[in-house]
């Protein structure tokens, strides 16, 4: 079967395992996941994830080339310079953020300088409907925010802003979301006719918890040390709709009926359902697929 052979080609990439957790794109991830990876626990990654990453890379290249074309054609007059990772030697592109006892590095997708002297970085992200709808409210996944915060704070604010170009996979809508330490309040500029929205919001990322997390991880020597040091990212049985409070803005939570707890079977979603270490954190869980999306079920 052709599809079976396609999957086989990905197995080598799954086995190409890296213990380097000191990357800006990983810094906001679950500490258990980082701890396991640092110790060399290979885990059981879903091969589908690699195809998803490749699809995201293809979209990013399209958007990158379109931005470059717009700049060359004079359609971005507010920019004095804009360049991308494929134009610069790798050793000259890396961003290095030094902390006490460890160093985090990153490779942003793009960087620019505006006519007014403001310097910024660009990241492309492909998103699901759910994530994109959150982004429209200015809500971005924590690990994305940490990545941006590291670049901004690590630069000593030589980088004045950080821009995401967000792509909605289901509909090809675009959202430009920018954070900056120099923005006082959120602003939204919308062009529905062109499927374009620009949102600007203040930079308010706290990096102290990230520093403490890495320092703690560096002290751990065994898999059991990691398990004992950090709780699971998701607490099975706690209501996902109200995060265990039993309350929502409309009053009593309709999902758990105000209890904050759910009855089994428990369904564990993101980020654990995509993590290669789910079977370590939830040994009694079963991985099931509903409408193509992985779900961890306990007590089913």
Q: Give the mean model confidence (pLDDT) for residues 54-70.
A: 94
Instruction: Find tokens 């640092």 and name the residue.
Output: 38
Average the pLDDT over 179-192 and give the result. Answer: 66
- Cis, bond preceding 50 (omega within 30 deg of 0): no
Say whether pLDDT at 76 is over 60: yes
Mean pLDDT of the chain: 85
Name residues whose C-beta falls within 8 Å of residue 260's C-beta, 6 or more positions apart in sequence: 238, 239, 242, 244, 245, 246, 253
Query: pLDDT digit string (tens) for 109-130?
Result: 999 999 999 999 999 999 988 8
Q: Where exactly are the structural domains of the chain?
A: 1-231, 234-300
Q: Please compute the mean of the pLDDT values over residues 135-155 and round it to a whole number.
A: 83
The DSSP code sequence of 196-256 is EEEEEEE-----HHHHHHHHHHHT--SHHHHHHHS--SS-TTB-TTTTTSSEETTEE-TTT
For range 163-189, the mean pLDDT: 81
What's the pLDDT at 37? 94
> What pLDDT shows up at residue 175?
87
Within 10 angstroms of residue 184's Cβ, the number of other Cβ atoms is 9
Residue 41 above 70 pLDDT? yes
Q: Which CATH architecture has domain 1-231?
A: Alpha-Beta Complex (3.90)
Report the percentage of the chain scoring pLDDT > 70.
Answer: 88
Three-state secondary structure call for residue 82: strand
Helices (H), the chain: 2-15, 31-38, 47-72, 90-93, 129-135, 142-154, 208-218, 223-229, 278-281
pLDDT of residue 203: 65
pLDDT: which is higher, 213 or 133: 213
For 246-290, how does the pLDDT look when each residue is reduced to its tens digit (9 = 90+)? 888 888 898 888 888 887 888 887 888 888 899 999 988 888 877
Of residues 212 and 134, more confidently modeled = 212
């Amino acid at each position: 079967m052709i599809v079976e052979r396609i999957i086989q080609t990905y197995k080598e990439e799954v086995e190409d395992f890296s213990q380097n957790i000191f990357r800006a794109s990983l810094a906001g991830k679950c500490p258990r996941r980082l701890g396991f990876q640092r110790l060399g626990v290979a885990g059981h990654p879903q091969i589908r994830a690699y195809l998803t990453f490749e699809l995201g890379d293809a979209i990013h290249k399209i958007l990158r080339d379109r931005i470059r074309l717009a700049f060359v054609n004079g359609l971005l007059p507010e920019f004095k310079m804009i360049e991308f990772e494929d134009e610069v030697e790798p050793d000259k592109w890396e961003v290095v953020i030094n902390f006490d006892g460890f160093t985090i590095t990153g490779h942003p997708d793009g960087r620019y300088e505006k006519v007014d002297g403001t310097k910024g970085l660009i990241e492309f992200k492909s998103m699901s409907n759910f994530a994109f709808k959150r982004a429209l409210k200015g809500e971005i996944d924590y690990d994305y925010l940490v990545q941006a915060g590291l670049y901004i704070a690590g630069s000593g604010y030589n980088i004045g802003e950080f821009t995401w170009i967000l792509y909605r996979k289901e509909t090809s809508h675009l959202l430009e979301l920018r954070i900056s330490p120099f923005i006082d309040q959120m602003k939204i500029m919308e062009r529905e006719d062109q499927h374009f929205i620009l949102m600007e919001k203040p930079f308010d990322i706290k990096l102290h918890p990230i520093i403490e997390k890495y320092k703690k991880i560096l002290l751990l020597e065994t898999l059991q040390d990691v398990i004992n040091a950090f709780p699971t990212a998701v607490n099975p049985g706690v209501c996902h709709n109200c995060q265990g409070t039993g309350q929502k803005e409309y009053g009593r939570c309709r999902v758990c009926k105000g209890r904050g707890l759910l009855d089994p079977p428990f369904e564990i979603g993101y980020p654990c359902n995509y993590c290669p270490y789910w079977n370590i954190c939830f040994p009694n869980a079963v991985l099931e697929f509903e409408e193509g999306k992985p779900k961890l079920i306990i007590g089913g």
